[in-house]
Amino acid sequence: MKHHVILGAGPAGIIAAETLRKHRPQDRITVVGDEREAPYSRMAIPYLLIGNIEEKGTWLRKGASHYADLRIELVQARASRVDAAGKQVLLDNGQSLDFDQLLIATGSHPVRPPIPGLDLPGVHTCWTLEDARAIAARAQPGAKVLQMGAGFIGCIIMEALKQRGVELSVVEMGDRMVPRMMGPMAGGMIRDWCETQGVKVYTSTKVEAIESADAPQGLVGKIAGALGLGDSSASGSGQGLRVRLSGGRTVEADLVISATGVRPAIGFLKDSGITCLQGVLTDERMQSNVPGIYAAGDCAEAFDKVSGQTIVSAIQPNAAEQARVAALNMAGQATTLRGVTQINVLDTLGLISTSFGNWQGVEGGQHAELTDAAAGRHLSLQFQGDVMVGCNSVGWTDHVGVMRGLVEGQVRLGEWKDKLLQDPTQLMAAYLACAQGQSEWSGAQDTRRR
Ligand SMILES: Cc1cc2nc3c(=O)[nH]c(=O)nc-3n(C[C@H](O)[C@H](O)[C@H](O)COP(=O)(O)OP(=O)(O)OC[C@H]3O[C@@H](n4cnc5c(N)ncnc54)[C@H](O)[C@@H]3O)c2cc1C
């Protein structure tokens, strides 16, 4: 009987534990998670904030005895160190766990920008259920909410906040919204759309400090106020916070949400001998450089066959697939990952945009772009040779699966490449003509949100 230890009780950890149980009925399986919650899905937090579900709806598995029935031991503790050679994990409660095989599935955690005032009451990340409870308490109808960051997670949260009836401002350091996923045209269209939906968007703007509104205003704030750069007079005052932006403007807020990006939660692996780049570096079986130690999910760095590089692709479908592959290998069934690709389908206040693969294009590649601003539609396709290696779209809900299929399947387009360069809207025809029989991936019908 082997002992499989899994660090992290998020989707990757739980899917891995269940897969292992299915294939290794006799083995011992322990899942270590550091949150004081039943295992849950962060993805469900926006639905909780909207009020579509209750907290229980975020739980990954609903049955009270689900884990006990599967003989999956849940340990609530934080892994503080891994002794790879000695096959032991040290926990922050002073205990240790010996393992035969280890899966690191600790996900990612929000980055903490060096901004004064980030510790003030009323400033929160939106990453955990605990964060969601704090946000729900302050984000009451009419409350002033300032969100730092308009990246992928930021855009998802906006939807929930708007539906709660708050007065929302978004501050993004980049020159457009979702700058790490969308080109200037797409990012600009998303920004315009948000503004028509009543969100105040500040791009190319930094939050310089967050202050308690009771604290005396600094000299810069006073000058800004005198120059009429403060927004408080225009919209009434927030209950507790004053946010200073670059350019001298100040915005009052009842709640500040920090959504400035995430990083793999792998600090505890320092000096463990497990190779980490951005995340835990894995091979095609999700194994690290140490035999018997695997990684999956937001903390893992896996091979992206489209870019030819290893990447961390922090989205749930990748976490689930990587966990399945890692667990099968841990169970003794040699299985390889088909690769990860940057796949992002975003719903920003009802506007659907996508970003797949090398959306910025590759050196020496070709590019086709089409924008119908009046209809709120935009397509940008990137080619290398006759393969579409990436794309951005705004407002094209009907072809999401096709775009994904062409990029992920690395479909050779032949003469269809030139047709797409002339008319990018011919995507479906190109897919039907070229993809069948070439790609193992058959996602043309898959238009779900990621
Ligand atoms: C608001 C929000 C909306 C999102 N929406 C989407 C979406 O629409 N689509 C999508 O694909 N993805 C979405 N995501 C991202 C998605 O939630 C993640 O990709 C997914 O949770 C990754 O799963 P994971 O198991 O790898 O990591 P996690 O879910 O982060 O789970 C890892 C667990 O390990 C724990 N842990 C960390 N360090 C330790 C340690 N040292 N010891 C023990 N435990 C530890 C963590 O606390 C956590 O509980 C969203 C995320 C958020 C926050």
The pLDDT, as a whole number, for residue 229 is 52
Helix or strand or coil: residue 397? coil
Judge if the beta carbon of residue 160 lies within 6 A of ligand 1. Answer: no
Q: Helix count (H) and strand count (E) of the chain?
A: 12, 26
* CB-based burial label for 312 (10 Å; 0-12, 13-18, 19+): buried
Q: Say how far apart CA 434 and CA 387 lie, in whole Å.
A: 11
444-447 long-range Cβ contacts below 8 angstroms, 24+ apart: 444/401, 444/402, 444/405, 445/401, 446/400, 446/401, 446/404, 446/405, 447/397, 447/398, 447/400, 447/401
The rounded Å distance from CA 41 to ligand 1 centre is: 7
Residue 14 alpha carbon, nearest atom of ligand 1 = 25
Q: What is the 3-state secondary structure (H, E, C) of 179-217?
A: CCCCCHHHHHHHHHHHHHCCCEEECCCCEEEEEECCCCC
Q: What angle do CA 63, 64, 69 make, to 5 degrees?
A: 80
Q: Say how far apart CA 93 and CA 76 lie, in whole Å.
A: 9
Q: Are 76 and 36 in contact (CB under 8 A)?
A: yes
The rounded Å distance from CA 157 to ligand 1 centre is: 15
Nearest C-alpha to atom 39 of ligand 1 is from which residue?
Answer: 106
Helix or strand or coil: residue 280? strand
Cα-to-chain-centroid distance, residue 7: 19
Nearest C-alpha to atom 19 of ligand 1 is from which residue?
Answer: 315
Residue 108 alpha carbon, nearest atom of ligand 1 = 30
Nearest C-alpha to atom 26 of ligand 1 is from which residue?
Answer: 297
Q: What is the 3-state secondary structure (H, E, C) of 90-146?
A: EECCCCEEECCEEEECCCEEECCCCCCCCCCCCEEECCCHHHHHHHHHHCCCCCEEE
The pLDDT, as a whole number, for residue 216 is 62
* CB-based burial label for 308 (10 Å; 0-12, 13-18, 19+): exposed
Report the chain's C-alpha Rg in angstroms.
23
Judge if the beta carbon of residue 314 lies within 6 A of ligand 1. Answer: yes
Judge if the beta carbon of residue 183 lies within 6 A of ligand 1. Answer: no
Residue 299 alpha carbon, nearest atom of ligand 1 = 26
* Tokens linked to 415: 């003469």
The pLDDT, as a whole number, for residue 304 is 86
pLDDT by residue for the chain (450 residues), tens digit each? 999 999 999 999 999 999 999 999 999 999 999 999 999 999 999 999 999 999 999 999 998 899 999 999 999 999 999 999 999 999 999 999 999 999 999 999 999 999 999 999 999 999 999 999 999 999 999 999 999 999 999 999 999 999 999 999 999 999 999 999 999 999 999 999 999 999 999 999 999 999 998 766 655 555 555 555 554 433 334 459 999 999 999 999 999 999 999 999 999 999 999 999 999 999 999 999 999 999 999 999 999 877 788 999 999 999 999 999 999 999 999 999 987 878 899 999 999 999 999 999 999 999 999 999 889 999 999 999 999 999 999 998 888 999 999 998 899 999 999 999 999 999 999 999 998 766 544 443 333 333
Q: Are 262 and 109 in contact (CB under 8 A)?
A: yes
Q: Within 10 A of 238 (CB to CB), how many other CB atoms are there?
A: 23
Element holding 176 (H helix, E strand): none
The rounded Å distance from CA 254 to ligand 1 centre is: 27
Helix or strand or coil: residue 67? helix
Could you tell me which of 104, 213, 189, 225 has the C-alpha nearest to residue 378? 189
The rounded Å distance from CA 360 to ligand 1 centre is: 26
Q: What angle do CA 102, 322, 65 make, to 5 degrees?
A: 70
Q: Are 303 and 337 in contact (CB under 8 A)?
A: yes
The pLDDT, as a whole number, for residue 288 is 98
Q: Are 257 and 126 in contact (CB under 8 A)?
A: yes
Could you tell me which of 397, 448, 450, 388 has the C-alpha nearest to residue 424? 388
- DSSP secondary structure, 353-374, as one string: EEEEESTT--TT-EEEEEEETT
Q: Which of 15, 280, 316, 352 for mutating ligand 1's site (highest number of atoms within 8 Å of CB)?
A: 316
Residues 6+ apart with CB under 8 A from 372: 378
pTM value is 0.90
The pLDDT, as a whole number, for residue 447 is 34
Judge if the beta carbon of residue 125 lies within 6 A of ligand 1. Answer: no
Element holding 379 (H helix, E strand): strand 377-384
Q: Say how far apart CA 235 and CA 24 lie, in whole Å.
A: 61
Q: List the beta bridge partners of residue 2.
A: none
